[in-house]
């Protein structure tokens, strides 16, 4: 934790010394926070020029961002790598000892050599209606796999090469198990769905360790203060994430058709194309009706321009700006961005005096933890959260979250006993 605090303090100092006006520094921090979330599990020092380029390309594809914002993000990354880490363009392109061997150090060469393969990979992902974030992740890991093996074509590689790469991630880079699984899924998808090839048996690869972390949650009082501080539409989003256990992506992707006011339910299309029914909190009903009416204004405006979108298909949290769909290259009205929600939550937490790092997902964590405290059966919580395995939900069954009396520290009991004897 101390290292993390030191990093952000050092980066903020670098931004300040580079001449950025005081009022703009927080936005530079926000760009780096967003960059951190890309390829989560891979350290910033281990990222490549290609990773930076891909991040900026994604920002350029977001029609809600203005050119000056893209340039601000570029400058934030330049300060990070040039001023804080001491890299220049040449040093980032070299195979430095403290950087990953699987770095894409020559992105143009890799893309030129394997353009048809990467195009087929993207097409296969989109055909299965995977999310844009999954596409970005899979393409990124396949590019890293190719770079790790000196730009060789995957069709010429096999089980041994896959095992070597996965072992490297676990033993040399020390990535989390979720990160290694992400790489594994991307590579298996490539071989089976794109190359129509059996990758062979590499099941004896070294598994990355699974860190056991208690989910970060807020107290009920903190949730209450946060909800009171937020304004529309972000307070409604927070109500749904905390009151229905929604992921941020599920909340933003809600469409008009997914809401049943009569039954008090939400039809959720979750990760891995899994569907579930979530609770619609009564406290959110009036605000949700209000938000739907706001979305209708955009729908009527788009209908005048022959958008062809049915009302039931419209996003509840419709974006105020049109954007280019990266898959179809057509101009459409999407939903609001997750970055906007994250910024709103952090800002509200700061104004409410909440020291904890408030993220959209900690509201979902709090939903599960508080329901467990209230005695809800863990299988029911698993169902509401959409977890495939009960073991995933069981992490909320931390001793401090179990229903009934809170455990008493033995030192407290000892002192109480000594006080009685005096």
Among 103, 333, 364, 365, the active-site one is 364
CA 9 from centre of chain: 23
In the residue annotation, 269 being an active-site residue is answered as: no
Query: What's the rounded Cα separation, in Å, for the pair 312 and 299?
Result: 10
Among 101, 271, 276, 346, the active-site one is 271
Among 101, 122, 173, 361, the active-site one is 361
Q: Helix, strand, coil shares of the chain as percentages rounded to 5? A: 60, 5, 35
The beta strand positions in 184-335, using DSSP E, are 259-260, 265-269, 275-279, 323-324, 331-332
Cis peptide before 233 (omega within 30 of 0): yes
In the residue annotation, 271 being an active-site residue is answered as: yes
Contact assessment for residue 252 and residue 338, using Cβ atoms and an 8 Å cutoff? yes
Task: Kindly state the helix (H) or strand (E) to which residue 223 belongs, with its residue range.
Answer: helix 220-229
Among 47, 143, 247, 338, the active-site one is 247
Burial of 262 (0-12, 13-18, 19+ CB in 10 A): exposed
In the residue annotation, 364 being an active-site residue is answered as: yes
In the residue annotation, 396 being an active-site residue is answered as: yes
Among 81, 87, 168, 396, the active-site one is 396
Query: What's the rounded Cα separation, in Å, for the pair 24 and 28?
Result: 7
Query: What's the rounded Cα separation, in Å, for the pair 367 and 240?
Result: 10
Query: What's the rounded Cα separation, in Å, for the pair 153 and 7?
Result: 38
Query: What's the rounded Cα separation, in Å, for the pair 85 and 92?
Result: 10
Catalytic residues: 247, 271, 361, 364, 387, 396
């Amino acid at each position: 934790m101390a290292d993390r605090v030191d990093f952000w303090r050092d980066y903020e100092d670098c931004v300040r010394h580079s001449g950025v006006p005081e009022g703009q520094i927080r936005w530079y921090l926000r760009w780096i926070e967003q960059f951190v979330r890309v390829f989560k599990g891979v350290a910033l020092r281990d990222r490549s020029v290609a990773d930076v380029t891909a991040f900026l390309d994604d920002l350029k594809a977001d029609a809600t961002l203005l050119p000056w914002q893209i340039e601000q993000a570029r400058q934030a990354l330049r300060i990070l790598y040039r001023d804080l880490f001491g890299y220049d363009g040449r040093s980032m392109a070299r195979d430095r000892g403290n950087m990953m061997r699987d770095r894409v150090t020559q992105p143009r060469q890799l893309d030129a050599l394997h353009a048809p393969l990467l195009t087929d990979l993207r097409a296969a992902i989109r055909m299965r209606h995977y999310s844009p974030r999954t596409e970005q992740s899979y393409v990124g890991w396949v590019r890293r796999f190719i770079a790790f093996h000196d730009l060789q074509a995957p069709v010429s590689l096999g089980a041994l090469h896959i095992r070597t790469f996965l072992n490297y991630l676990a033993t040399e880079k020390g990535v989390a198990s979720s990160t290694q699984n992400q790489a594994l899924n991307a590579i298996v998808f490539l071989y089976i769905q794109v190359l129509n090839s059996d990758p062979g048996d590499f099941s004896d690869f070294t598994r990355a360790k699974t860190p056991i972390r208690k989910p970060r949650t807020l107290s009920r009082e903190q949730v209450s203060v946060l909800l009171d501080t937020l304004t529309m539409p972000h307070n409604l989003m927070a109500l749904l994430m905390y009151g229905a256990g929604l992921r941020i992506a599920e909340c933003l992707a809600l469409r008009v058709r997914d809401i049943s006011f009569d039954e008090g339910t939400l039809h959720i299309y979750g990760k891995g194309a899994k569907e579930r029914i979530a609770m619609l909190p009564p406290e959110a009903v009036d605000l949700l009706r209000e938000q739907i009416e706001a979305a209708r204004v955009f729908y009527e405006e788009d209908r005048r321009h022959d958008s062809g979108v049915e009302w039931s298909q419209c996003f509840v949290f419709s974006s105020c700006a049109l954007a280019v769909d990266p898959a179809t290259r057509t101009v459409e009205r999407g939903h609001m961005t997750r970055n906007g929600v994250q910024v709103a939550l952090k800002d509200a937490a700061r104004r409410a005096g909440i020291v904890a790092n408030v993220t959209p997902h900690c509201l979902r964590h709090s939903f599960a933890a508080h329901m467990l405290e209230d005695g809800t059966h863990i299988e029911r919580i698993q169902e509401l959260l959409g977890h495939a395995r009960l073991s995933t939900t069981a992490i909320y069954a931390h001793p401090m979250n179990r229903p009934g009396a809170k455990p008493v520290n033995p030192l407290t009991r000892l002192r109480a006993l000594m006080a009685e004897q005096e």
